Amino acid sequence: MKQRLYLLTVQREMVKNAMRNHSKTLVGIGQQLFDIALIKVGGMNRVVELDGMEMIYISQSLNSYAKKLSNADKIVESQHYRILAMEIEQIRIYFQQTNGPKVHIKKQAASAPTLTA
């Protein structure tokens, strides 16, 4: 399953910028998986379809870049990135609750030794 995200032009550029920046900090297989999501995001238009892991990559990138901005005393810009990260994280949580595996718990009848009179 994929979740459609509708992003404004400014938001798309924020995501692309944050992901390009975050990609430089990764190594190994983590970077390879991240780069797959980065390519998808790099080619997105107004709408992009993402799975849960790709949304995690985006929110991590936005938070990482926000921290970098905050350390550079660009507090207002940092807040914009953090807010977008929180919005994407909320969408991801809802998506995974809705589309994730359903866990069914069997209710068992009480056995004879556990019954009380």
- Tell me the CA end-to-end span of the chain in Å, nearest whole number: 50
Sequence-ordered alpha helix ranges (H) in the chain: 9-23, 28-42, 52-71, 75-99
Overall size of the chain counted in residues:
117
pTM comes to 0.80
- The residue ranges of every structural domain in the chain are 3-100
| Alpha carbons 14 and 95: distance in angstroms, whole number | 22
10-residue averages of pLDDT along the chain (117 residues)? 88 93 89 89 85 92 96 96 96 88 65 60
| Alpha carbons 31 and 69: distance in angstroms, whole number | 22
CA distances from 97 to 26, 52, 81, 101 (A): 28, 11, 24, 8
